[in-house]
Amino acid sequence: MTAKLVHDVMIKVVRNYNMSMILTSHWPEVIENLTDKAILLENGEVVLEGNPLEVSAVFMNNACMVKQEKNIIVGEPIIKVRDLSKRYISVDRGVVRAGDKISFDVREGEIFGLVGVSGAGKTTTSKILMGILPPTSGEVEVRVGDEWVDMRQLGVENKGRATKYMGFLHQEYGLYTYSSVIDNLTESISLDLPFELGVRKALMTLKAAGFEENKAKAILPKMADEMSEGERHRIALAQVLIKEPNIIIMDEPTGTMDPITKMSVTTSILKTRDELGETFVIVSHDMDFVNEICDRVALMRDGKIVDIGEPKNVLFQVTEEEKIKIHSVKPSTLEEQNKGRSNKL
Ligand SMILES: Nc1ncnc2c1ncn2[C@@H]1O[C@H](COP(=O)(O)OP(=O)(O)O)[C@@H](O)[C@H]1O
Ligand SMILES: [Mg+2]
């Protein structure tokens, strides 16, 4: 509703003061309601120019291709969480219940979302799934073949049996800043690939992470710190995908992505899942993305799971207040990211 007010004011100002206005947007309604003429840009080039309704229709037609590819083929449970709790003791806040008796299953081949406002306990839960963080109580198991692996037990003989088939994209990801993109990618696969093969694999993976073929080729020799924040994020995603894990856990993968890149990442995640049957756990505050990509989502509040189900049945319960909180970047996140950055210098 705020957007509508702003739009009305913009139209009034332009009409009353005889002004010209140029605006950029990825929202079709904005283009349709506010503009007299529109252009569609792709890779820095004008691909369509003219009537806003027509331009927006073509734009949305590209965007809608995603939905049709979603083809649910889920199997037996592959991650099992029972009565999981995680308490932090904080000096100023006392006991923090980041996970409070949560239980859920993720099925093989499923794209499962964990959503909720900042501080709901999403990152904590995802790290426990990966065995990075020990829970205070409760059980977490990951299935490898027919065998259930207890993710609370450290060591290669224990959780290590599962983690070698798992990939984790951290919310505060990091690349080797003084290495090239290709080195960043191939160093994360321990196999000694011939260089040519490594390049081919890196290109395929960068494409899956939303880079165009030519762009992917161009950035291979570049240093990681020559990339923009958003590009680094997608290279970090590629670094996870190149290991071809069976289970991929991603913490806020779309944090820095523009809508078109997000769409191409959505499409390629759905495509690889269809082809290879991987299981994804996606932690996100991005409701559109989650709705588009997830088969099921769990909504978290104050460390608890309040509902699990199909996105359309769960996401409507997100309150207006939560949406506002979800969309505002919490200062601590920025601080953490800056801290991470200066550490690497
Ligand atoms: N290491 C820690 N020490 C104390 N409190 C923590 C720690 N990590 C997270 N928390 C707290 O636990 C709660 C859940 O955090 P987190 O899992 O990061 O949530 P989300 O990813 O949903 O934003 C928050 O209140 C957060 O401040
Ligand atoms: Mg988080």
pLDDT tens, 196-238?
Answer: 888 999 999 998 888 889 999 999 999 988 888 888 888 998 9
Integer-rounded Cα Rg, in Å, for the chain is 22
Residue 29 and residue 151 in one domain: no
Predicted local distance difference test score (pLDDT) of residue 64: 56
Cα–Cα distances in angstroms (integers) from residue 52 to residues 13, 15, 38, 40, 283, in the given order: 20, 18, 5, 10, 35
Predicted local distance difference test score (pLDDT) of residue 233: 86
CA of 317 to the centre of ligand 1 (A): 23
Ligand nearest to the CA of 121: 1
Predicted local distance difference test score (pLDDT) of residue 341: 41
The number of the ligand 1 atom at minimal distance from the alpha carbon of 120 is 22
Tell me: pLDDT of 68 over 50. Answer: no
Residue 37 and residue 96 in one domain: no
Confidence of residue 273 (pLDDT cuts 50, 70, 90): confident
Q: Domain ends where: 40, 68, 96?
A: 68
Confidence of residue 345 (pLDDT cuts 50, 70, 90): very low
As beta bridge partners, residue 107 has 77
Ligand nearest to the CA of 332: 1
Q: Is the separation of the CB atoms in 180 and 224 below 8 Å?
A: yes
Decide: 98 in ligand 1 pocket, CB within 6 A.
Answer: yes
CA distance 225 to 222: 8
The number of the ligand 1 atom at minimal distance from the alpha carbon of 171 is 21
Decide: 122 in ligand 1 pocket, CB within 6 A.
Answer: yes
**Residue with more model confidence, 271 or 19:** 19
Residue 131 and residue 246 in one domain: yes
Assign residue 163 the CATH number of its domain: 3.40.50.300
Predicted local distance difference test score (pLDDT) of residue 72: 63
Decide: 255 in ligand 1 pocket, CB within 6 A.
Answer: no
Residue 45 and residue 113 in one domain: no
Residue 116 and residue 64 in one domain: no
Decide: 96 in ligand 1 pocket, CB within 6 A.
Answer: yes
Decide: 118 in ligand 1 pocket, CB within 6 A.
Answer: yes
Residue 13 and residue 99 in one domain: no
Provide the domain count of the chain: 2
Decide: 120 in ligand 1 pocket, CB within 6 A.
Answer: yes
Residue 7 and residue 53 in one domain: yes
Tell me: pLDDT of 335 over 50. Answer: no
Residue 244 and residue 153 in one domain: yes
CA distance 85 to 83: 6
Residue 273 and residue 142 in one domain: yes
Decide: 58 in ligand 1 pocket, CB within 6 A.
Answer: no
The number of the ligand 1 atom at minimal distance from the alpha carbon of 300 is 22
Name the residue of 84, 88, 100 to mutate for ligand 1: max ligand atoms within 8 A of Cβ.
88
pLDDT tens, 114-152?
Answer: 999 888 999 999 999 999 999 999 999 999 999 999 999
H, E, C per residue of the chain = CHHHHHHHHHHHHHHHHCCCCCCCCCCHHHHHHHCCCEEEEECCEEEEEECHHHHHHHHHHHHHHHHHCCCCCCCCEEEEEEEEEEEEEECCCEEEEEEEEEEEEEECCCEEEEECCCCCCHHHHHHHHCCCCCCCEEEEEEEECCEEEECCCCCCCCCHHHHCCEEEECCCCCCCCCCEHHHHHHCCCCCCCCHHHHHHHHHHHHHHCCCCHHHHHHHCCCEHHHCCHHHHHHHHHHHHHCCCCCEEEEECCCCCCCHHHHHHHHHHHHHHHHHHCCEEEEEECCHHHHHHHCCEEEEEECCEEEEEECHHHHHHHCCHHHHHHHHCCCHHHHHHHHHHHHHHC
CA of 278 to the centre of ligand 1 (A): 28
Q: Mean pLDDT throughout 272-288?
A: 89
Distance of CA 75 to the CA centre of its chain: 23
Cβ density class 7-27: b for 16+ within 10 Å, e for less:
eeebeeeeeeeeeeeeeeeee
Name the residue of 124, 282, 318 to mutate for ligand 1: max ligand atoms within 8 A of Cβ.
124
CA of 284 to the centre of ligand 2 (A): 8
CA distance 140 to 128: 8
Q: Mean pLDDT throughout 72-88?
A: 91
Would the pTM of this model clear 0.85, i.e. be above it? no
Q: Mean pLDDT throughout 272-298?
A: 91
CA distance 323 to 285: 9
Residue 62 and residue 182 in one domain: no
Q: Domain ends where: 37, 68, 99?
A: 68
The number of the ligand 1 atom at minimal distance from the alpha carbon of 86 is 12
Residue 48 and residue 84 in one domain: no
On average, the pLDDT of the chain sits at 85
Residue 104 and residue 62 in one domain: no
Ligand nearest to the CA of 255: 2
Tell me: pLDDT of 337 over 70. Answer: no
Predicted local distance difference test score (pLDDT) of residue 327: 55
Domain that holds residue 32: 2-68
